[in-house]
Structure 1
Amino acid sequence: MRFIEVLQNAFKVKDLRKKIGMTLLLIIIFRIGCFITVPGLQDAALDSLAGNGLFRFMDMLSGGAFQQVSIFSLGISPYINASIIMQLLTVAIPYLEKKQKDPDGRKQISQWTRYAAIALGLLQSVMLYFNINGEATTINLFATAGKFDIFTFLLMVITFTTGTAVLMWLGEKITEVGIGNGISMIIFAGIISAGPRAAISLYDLVVGGGIFGKWYFNIFVALAIVIVFLAVIVAVVWMEGGERRIPVQYAKKVVGNKVYGGQSTHIPLKVNSSGVLPIIFAMSLLQFPATIVAFIGKSNATKGFAGFINSFSAGNSWGYVLVYALLILGFTFFYNIVYFDPVDIANNLKKNGGFIPGLRPGAPTADFIKKSSHRITWFGAIFLAVLAVFPTVIQLICSIFNKDLGSINLWFGGTTVLILVGVALETVRQIEAQLLMRNYRGFLD
């Protein structure tokens, strides 16, 4: 009842109602685009990649657009990759670092990120064409698989790249006129759309004989999957709200007959300050070598180093789990270094007369904040790594018995839950803030 009451309050506010409506409209446009295939395309669905864990995940993020070879096949991944590159360059190049601190400079960097996303989209479109050309039996009405056709090449590359540009525009529009972060909302919508397929697979596991033969064992497995799924949701919500609070005391100031200051507050250090970004960054980095292999053609994709890359990117080895986990750990600390500046925090405290009890202002305070941040980041990084590799580890264990959980394992896994919960909580907080501004009770009251 409380949830319904809050929703009713949200729709009573004209501005908020308009924002929610625009968000839903733009998401519907995204979903419609996921079902529009490249013009003239015939039997080109990448069914041979169904067993590849990495491409499975890409397909889920794009809402099924990748495997259907729709105009949105690339999803939002070129933009994510461009963001990674720009963030790395911002840390490495002082000129960009200086621009990042200026509002106009940030706008310019955002524009460069868009250009880089289009360039990467163009490159990935070329790679995807060669991948489809090697996998499909018939490309379209004008060409057959395995034979290069300039018309088909241009048609597909332009379509895929344009699809990426449209998705960027949709994401920015959601952020501008809707609720929540646009890019996150598009990813959220893509994952949610894969939910019914996962639920049907879970139903088939129990009713249709499943993958374990005996029905009562399949019911046990299905119940275990649901229980683990709910447990992961609880763990993610708990970790998302987890933080260490460093106490801060402000010195008293006497001005005339009045005393100012003397308040006690705290510096919140979140356990998972980076959210799901390290996982997406790691996925994007692992995706890149696999897409390059598409250039060499299907016949050579199982030979030599290309064969190793192709096999490794499938996500069906313990080596993949190790590399994936290490990348997540690295990106989590990278995010912490880029976006959390203990020296700046210490200087601001000193300027405003604040101090941490038992520590001198300045360098000692900065060192303490830095050490505290690193310690808590370790917990967040390990938590993210465990969540991310959990579905792959379960699949590897099942493969010992020649079993495949398929999309069930992926959709009910930790990464999916983290994205869903993270985006949902952020959206709820934004709606909450809008309601509180107008003296309505929110979700979190």
Structure 2
Amino acid sequence: MNFFKKITNSISLFFSKIFLFFDRNIIKKLKERDLLKRILFTLMLMAIFVIIGTITLPGISVTNESGANSNSFFGILNTIGGGGLRQFSLVSLGISPFITASLIMTFAQTKLFPPIHRLYQSGPAGRIKINYITYSLTFVFAIIQGIVIIQSLLKDSSNTSYIKISIDDKFNNTVFVWIVLPFILVAGTFFSMFISELITNKGVGNGSSMLILAGSIISLPSLFSSGWSLWVESKIGAELFRGLIYFFAFILLFIAMVFIISFIYQAERKIPIQQTGVGRSKNVKDLSYLPIKLNPAGIMPIIFASMLITFPMLIVNLIHEVSPSSGTRWMIKYFALTNPLGLTIFASATFGITIFLSLQQSKIDKIVEDFNKASTFIPGIRPGEQTEDYLIAIVLRLAVFSAIYLTILGSSQYVTYILLDHFGKTNFQSVIISGTSIMIITTVSIETIQQIEARKKAQNILKASKKDQISNKDFEPSNKNQENSGSVLW
């Protein structure tokens, strides 16, 4: 018995030492490093989202999975939703219904809709009500979008441009198809929004952007593997050498697009500003600047334009499946983004939404109001209305450039698709680089890195202030001791 007690005590002592080691060297450091915990938490949530995106809905069989990556409406939904549509998973819709609802509420917050505009300007309480309205619209759009996608992918047997689904015989009934499956997709949407909110509040980066980033990153391996199999695999001799050149040129094109997008994203127009009184700068070098981004609207105009075209076309697809007609057949053919007419509509929508969002997100009226409160002015420009007109003119010029840039970037993949189809080079369609996906990956990565750096600086400042407080506390008693010892000696 004593022998077993000794063994038990030694084992418990061993594990207690291991626990103390981890507690002192790892757990304690993790508790002190808030930024590291946020990064790990974000990666964990993104991994959970990706894993759930591989779980197909119950009773569903998926074929032609690669079709979700094509230049169809469902390919757009797959990218914006987070990549779950590829497997027709529990999170197939992702956050795309929320993006559609947000698009509508973004337009509703303007002065064109006074009730919503008053809520927007009424402070936190009004914005909470706007959030409730957005969530309600998300629920409605998720139900509609879920039913439309299920019926379109289930009934359409002629089109091979996107995935196909089939239902097992034991699940093939009206209640399951029209009620159970759509509500599972709705639950998946709100679960995606829950993960998004957790990332935004307790992780790093914007939650919605991070989920879209996950869907875009997932598609990269298939893109490069398609290029490798097209140009390099099973090639010998001169064909292999030529294929390697094409493949490395393909990679260089990808890197060049990343560089251009990151450069334009970080470019700013700096407007010199001054303050009256003591804060006024005497030298040009000492002037402060108001930075305005070269692309004020970011990636959102392309996403909004895609959703603006995709959602109505999904309904047209469903109507065509229920009762085919020449009108719906014409719309499906000519309003596709791979058709010149549909591409023109998409480019026009991207251009107009970019101008609108650039002017709205710049918030010139708020900037002018803050200038008046802080006695700040632009040299050579009168405060008030003249300053507002001056800033609107600058933002409008930047918005026009941004609109042209985003229109070219968002349309490039569809133009390439049309040209390849015209010249009969359909085998190259699998290696078309999506400008939208690259911009999502680049801009979201830059935003996240910038947020991490900002948090790191704030954490270092907080640590430095704590050290100063500790050193001051240690210094004060020593002075008291010296004073006391001096008085005794005196």
Q: TM-score range by the shorter chain?
A: 0.7 to 0.9
After TM superposition, give the deviation of residue 343 of structure 1 in Å.
3.4
1:174 aligns with 2:199: yes
**Residue range with higher mean Cα deviation, 391-400 or 291-300:** 291-300
CA distance in 2, matches of 1:50, 1:420: 16
Question: Which runs of 5 or more residues in structure 2 are unaligned?
Answer: 1-28, 157-163, 462-490
- One-letter amino acid matched to 1:372: I
Instruction: Tell me which residue corresponds to 1:322.
Output: 344
SS in 2 for 1:247: strand
Instruction: Tell me which residue corresponds to 1:111.
Output: 132
CA distance in 1, matches of 2:167, 2:335: 24
The answer to whether the 8 A contact 2:337-2:346 is kept is no
CA distance in 1, matches of 2:240, 2:453: 45
Q: Which of the numbers 170, 181, 187 marks the counterpart of 1:142?
A: 170
After TM superposition, give the deviation of residue 317 of structure 1 in Å.
1.7
The answer to whether the 8 A contact 1:342-1:367 is kept is no
SS in 2 for 1:269: strand
CA distance in 1, matches of 2:86, 2:198: 26
Q: Which of the numbers 423, 434, 444 marks the counterpart of 2:455?
A: 434
Q: Which of the numbers 73, 82, 90 marks the counterpart of 1:54?
A: 73
Alignment of 1:183-222 (within 5 A): 183-208=208-233, 215=240, 218-222=243-247
- Deviation per residue, 1:266-293 (Å, 9 max, x gap): 2212111111000000010110122102
SS in 1 for 2:42: helix
CA distance in 1, matches of 2:165, 2:360: 47
Q: Which of the numbers 48, 59, 81 marks the counterpart of 1:40?
A: 59
The alpha-carbon distance between structure 1 residues 260 and 244, as it changes in their structure 2 partners (threshold 3 A), is closer
Instruction: Tell me which residue corresponds to 1:6.
Output: none
After TM superposition, give the deviation of residue 133 of structure 1 in Å.
2.4
CA distance in 1, matches of 2:68, 2:37: 41
Instruction: Tell me which residue corresponds to 2:476.
Output: none
Instruction: Tell me which residue corresponds to 1:28.
Output: 47
**Residue range with higher mean Cα deviation, 329-338 or 77-86:** 329-338
After TM superposition, give the deviation of residue 395 of structure 1 in Å.
1.6
- One-letter amino acid matched to 2:169: L
The alpha-carbon distance between structure 1 residues 16 and 49, as it changes in their structure 2 partners (threshold 3 A), is closer
After TM superposition, give the deviation of residue 264 of structure 1 in Å.
2.6
The answer to whether the 8 A contact 1:43-1:140 is kept is no
The alpha-carbon distance between structure 1 residues 368 and 328, as it changes in their structure 2 partners (threshold 3 A), is same
The alpha-carbon distance between structure 1 residues 50 and 25, as it changes in their structure 2 partners (threshold 3 A), is closer
Q: Which of the numbers 373, 378, 392 marks the counterpart of 2:414?
A: 392
CA distance in 2, matches of 1:275, 1:137: 35
1:77 aligns with 2:120: no
Instruction: Tell me which residue corresponds to 2:477.
Output: none
Q: Which of the numbers 398, 405, 408 marks the counterpart of 1:383?
A: 405
CA distance in 1, matches of 2:128, 2:206: 17
CA distance in 1, matches of 2:189, 2:113: 28
Alignment of 1:204-243 (within 5 A): 204-208=229-233, 215=240, 218-243=243-268
The alpha-carbon distance between structure 1 residues 191 and 261, as it changes in their structure 2 partners (threshold 3 A), is same
CA distance in 2, matches of 1:110, 1:88: 14
After TM superposition, give the deviation of residue 51 of structure 1 in Å.
5.0
- One-letter amino acid matched to 1:128: I
The alpha-carbon distance between structure 1 residues 413 and 424, as it changes in their structure 2 partners (threshold 3 A), is same
**Residue range with higher mean Cα deviation, 85-94 or 214-223:** 214-223
Q: How many residues align?
A: 417
Instruction: Tell me which residue corresponds to 1:98.
Output: 118
CA distance in 2, matches of 1:53, 1:113: 27
SS in 1 for 2:192: helix
The alpha-carbon distance between structure 1 residues 11 and 413, as it changes in their structure 2 partners (threshold 3 A), is farther
- One-letter amino acid matched to 1:266: Y
CA distance in 2, matches of 1:173, 1:89: 26
- Deviation per residue, 1:335-379 (Å, 9 max, x gap): 123223333323332332222121221111111111111011111
The answer to whether the 8 A contact 2:359-2:392 is kept is no
SS in 2 for 1:438: helix
The answer to whether the 8 A contact 1:42-1:141 is kept is no
CA distance in 1, matches of 2:82, 2:374: 49
- One-letter amino acid matched to 1:401: F
CA distance in 2, matches of 1:419, 1:86: 22
CA distance in 2, matches of 1:347, 1:316: 46
Same amino acid, percent of matched pairs: 29
**Residue range with higher mean Cα deviation, 330-339 or 270-279:** 330-339
Q: Which of the numbers 378, 383, 396 marks the counterpart of 1:361?
A: 383
The alpha-carbon distance between structure 1 residues 408 and 33, as it changes in their structure 2 partners (threshold 3 A), is same
Alignment of 1:208-357 (within 5 A): 208=233, 215=240, 218-252=243-277, 259-262=278-281, 264-298=287-321, 303-357=325-379
The answer to whether the 8 A contact 2:109-2:117 is kept is yes
CA distance in 2, matches of 1:300, 1:214: 50
Instruction: Tell me which residue corresponds to 1:163.
Output: 188
The alpha-carbon distance between structure 1 residues 364 and 50, as it changes in their structure 2 partners (threshold 3 A), is closer
- One-letter amino acid matched to 1:381: A
CA distance in 2, matches of 1:47, 1:347: 52
> Where is the helix percentage greater, Structure 1 or Structure 2?
2
The answer to whether the 8 A contact 1:293-1:310 is kept is yes
CA distance in 1, matches of 2:419, 2:30: 48
Superposed CA RMSD in Å reads 2.5
The alpha-carbon distance between structure 1 residues 215 and 313, as it changes in their structure 2 partners (threshold 3 A), is farther
Max Rg structure: 2
SS in 1 for 2:167: strand
CA distance in 2, matches of 1:160, 1:330: 32
- One-letter amino acid matched to 2:43: L
**Residue range with higher mean Cα deviation, 66-75 or 187-196:** 66-75
The answer to whether the 8 A contact 1:45-1:69 is kept is no
TM-score normalised to structure 1 length: 0.87
The alpha-carbon distance between structure 1 residues 309 and 192, as it changes in their structure 2 partners (threshold 3 A), is same
